[in-house]
């Protein structure tokens, strides 16, 4: 899976735009934590199956991009939605 394919998959799973996901992934850790708070009320974030799929896609992205890319921060930020 390429980065572009993963962003497309995230958009398809969540109903958000590819641009929104690209912006989120490009943000620093603090920015991602703020942005993800706005996702908490979205239907995909409340669906355990979709949320799990999103985390899985982000994990694949982290493998592709490596830890220095900020993807690990994105995984942590989105994973926090499980407790909201």
Q: Are 48 and 83 in contact (CB under 8 A)?
A: no
Cβ pair 25, 71 in contact under 8 A: yes
For the chain, the domain total comes to 1
In whole angstroms, what is the distance from residue 68 CA to residue 38 CA?
A: 25
Query: Containing domain of residue 28, as a range?
Result: 3-83
What pLDDT, in 10s, does the model give residues 24-50? 888 888 888 889 889 888 999 899 999
d(CA 82, CA 84): 6
Distance CA 46, CA 25 (A): 20
Report pLDDT digits (tens) over 14-25: 999 999 999 988
In this prediction the pTM is 0.77
């Amino acid at each position: 899976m390429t980065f572009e394919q993963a962003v497309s998959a995230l958009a398809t799973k969540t109903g958000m735009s590819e641009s929104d996901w690209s912006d989120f992934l490009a943000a620093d850790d603090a920015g991602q934590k703020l942005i993800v708070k706005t996702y908490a009320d979205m239907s995909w974030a409340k669906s355990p199956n979709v949320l799990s799929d999103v985390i899985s896609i982000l994990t694949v992205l982290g493998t592709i991009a490596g830890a220095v890319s900020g993807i690990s921060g994105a995984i942590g930020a989105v994973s926090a939605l499980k407790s909201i």
